[in-house]
Amino acid sequence: MSEHEQQEQGTTTVRPVVAVVGRPNVGKSTLVNRIIGRRAAVVQDVPGVTRDRVSYDARWNGREFVVVDTGGWAPDAQGMAAQIAEQAELAIAAADAVLLVVDATVGVQDVDEAVVRVLRRSRKPVVLAANKVDDQRTEAEAASMWNLGLGQPYPVSALHGRGSGDLLDAVLEALPEAPREAEEVPRGPRRVAIVGKPNVGKSSLLNKLSGQQRAVVDDASGTTVDPVDELVEIGGTTYQFIDTAGIRRRVKEASGHEYYASLRTQGAIERAEVCIVVIDASAPVTEQDLRILTMVEEAGRALVVAFNKWDLTDDERRFYLNREIERDMVQFGWAGHVNMSALTGRHVDRLGVAIEGALAAWETRVPTGKLNAFLGRVVAAHPHPVRSGKQPRILFGTQAQAGPPTFVLFTSGQIEPQYVRFVERRLREDFDFQGTPIHLEVRARE
């Protein structure tokens, strides 16, 4: 199933990560290029040449996974074995399975054994590739790799492709179970929650949206909708509006008990994919408005802010509203917004476009190659400041999830929170995440 199809069906798949480790010059990069089906970009003949760790999207037998080329490293004072062990440890932190590459033509070296010890402690699944087996003659050397105690060595020639199919089969087998494909469940209408404090115009908006569209509810028989929800059509697309019963009944307990209103809001947000937070534009933005926005952000839902009662605003009020937005709502600057009036119907139709945009951003999947090209650019242009003589670095990243976009950055050393925020800002700009919160997770290796 292609990513596009997955998105169509509303399923998200966390792609497993395979780290390729081994001594310099055993053919890791050549093998990675073989796996991702591309001609070698840069394969250096010089041992120990510095390359950054990069990760790529790969696919074999219909399964998608991420390959991390642990590349080379700069030789420094440390012993080679120590460096390799360190590199292997990084791979362990990051990977679901490890592909250890050895050079069959030179046999097992001390450093290979050092890596093996680290791998064994990790208890991660390891697949052993005996590389440079270009012909039958070298097969025997590959067999000697059984000595490493990692099970069957797979003889391959990364250069010519020999044996790489069997190797990839073994890699897939070593990976955790594929997430079950959800093709039996076609996605229903997108779930939208209208939330906001009392009297901002939620039920007026719902009436405006659903007023002329009542027929949709009957047309869509067969679609299961909670009795408290309603199907509403906006601009030709049908949405499932969450907890409309609560909005329509204008739940009386809500006025007396803010706690229950807040629980109800929380519940609606949790069930929704995208939230419309209605704010009364004619009155100052309040703490309660900000709390609801925060609830949406923390729940990781797509967000559209509806500044309602626009018909009651004049130039002066709009001036102050802008000041309030700049002062109190900067952290929600990523949200889409619509200046509207549920009473007059002004710009109500724009909500559809805003909802679609927010959902599209919410479900964006950035291919690993593209993400790492981006990270490479950002890190090169703005390296992390040196701390106590050390240079913390982002080594590579991958998008672990969509809805909302969630990224995992693998780093060496502790990345400071400001730097993470900086990267997040750049991510937003580069990939246009308007309307969705994004999450960044950092996995550091000391």
Q: Known binding site: residues?
A: 22-29, 69-73, 131-134, 196-203, 243-247, 308-311
Say what angle helices 110-122 and 80-94 make with each other, to 10 degrees.
Answer: 30
What is the Cα–Cα distance from 48 to 77, expressed in whole angstroms?
A: 13
Map residues 40-79 to x or -, x wherever contact with ligand GDP holds by CB under 6 A.
---xxx--------------------------x-------
Binding status of residue 29 toward ligand GDP by CB under 6 A? yes
294 sits in the region (left: phi over 0; alpha: psi -120 to 50; else beta) called: alpha
Residue 198 CB, nearest distance to ligand GDP (Å)?
5
Q: Binding residue for ligand GDP (CB under 6 A) from 6, 12, 17, 28?
A: 28
Q: With contact defined as beta carbons under 8 Å apart, do 100 and 91 qualify? A: no
CB of 26 or CB of 66, closer to ligand GDP: 26
Residue 25 CB, nearest distance to ligand GDP (Å)?
4
Residue 16 CB, nearest distance to ligand GDP (Å)?
22
Q: Binding residue for ligand GDP (CB under 6 A) from 25, 87, 164, 244?
A: 25
CB of 279 or CB of 408, closer to ligand GDP: 279
Binding status of residue 210 toward ligand GDP by CB under 6 A? no
CB of 155 or CB of 404, closer to ligand GDP: 155
Residues 324-343 that bind ligand GDP (CB under 6 A): 341-343
The one segment of 23-31, 366-374, 393-401, 428-436 that binds ligand GDP by CB under 6 A:
23-31
φ, ψ for residue 9 (rounded to 5)?
-90, 0
Residues 249-268 that bind ligand GDP (CB under 6 A): none
Residue 244 CB, nearest distance to ligand GDP (Å)?
11
Map residues 94-133 to x or -, x wherever contact with ligand GDP holds by CB under 6 A.
-------------------------------------xx-
Binding status of residue 202 toward ligand GDP by CB under 6 A? yes
Under DSSP, the state recorded for 23 is: S
- Residue among 431, 409, 276, 416 nearest 338 (CA): 276
What is the Cα–Cα distance from 237 to 233, expressed in whole angstroms?
A: 5
The one segment of 20-28, 216-224, 225-233, 372-380 that binds ligand GDP by CB under 6 A:
20-28
What is the Cα–Cα distance from 185 to 348, expressed in whole angstroms?
A: 32
CB of 46 or CB of 380, closer to ligand GDP: 46
Tokens representing 420 are 């993470």
Residue 83 CB, nearest distance to ligand GDP (Å)?
13
Q: With contact defined as beta carbons under 8 Å apart, do 241 and 193 qualify? A: yes
Residue 442 CB, nearest distance to ligand GDP (Å)?
26
Q: How many C-beta atoms surround the C-beta of residue 165 within 10 A? A: 12
φ, ψ for residue 125 (rounded to 5)?
-65, 135
Residues 348-367 that bind ligand GDP (CB under 6 A): none
Buried b (16+ CB within 10 A) or exposed e, 395-415: bbbbbbbbbbbbbbbbbbbeb
What is the Cα–Cα distance from 275 to 296, expressed in whole angstroms?
A: 7
Residue 192 CB, nearest distance to ligand GDP (Å)?
15
Burial label, 52 (beta-carbon count in 10 A; 0-12, 13-18, 19+): middle
Q: Binding residue for ligand GDP (CB under 6 A) from 18, 19, 27, 437?
A: 27
What is the Cα–Cα distance from 141 to 184, expressed in whole angstroms?
A: 48
CB of 44 or CB of 238, closer to ligand GDP: 44
What is the Cα–Cα distance from 146 to 152, expressed in whole angstroms?
A: 6
Buried b (16+ CB within 10 A) or exposed e, 343-378: eeeebbebbbebbbbbbbbbbbbbebbebbebbeeb
Count helices and strands (H / E) in the chain: 16, 15
Q: Binding residue for ligand GDP (CB under 6 A) from 311, 324, 328, 424?
A: 311
Q: Binding residue for ligand GDP (CB under 6 A) from 15, 19, 24, 371?
A: 24
Q: Binding residue for ligand GDP (CB under 6 A) from 199, 339, 401, 414?
A: 199
What is the Cα–Cα distance from 271 to 241, expressed in whole angstroms?
A: 10
What is the Cα–Cα distance from 228 to 251, expressed in whole angstroms?
A: 13
Residue ranges for the binding site for GTP? Answer: 22-29, 69-73, 131-134, 196-203, 243-247, 308-311
Q: Binding residue for ligand GDP (CB under 6 A) from 53, 301, 309, 384?
A: 309
Query: In the complex, which residues of this chain contact ligand GDP (CB under 6 A)?
Result: 22, 24-30, 43-45, 72, 131-132, 134, 157-159, 196, 198-204, 247, 308-309, 311-312, 341-343
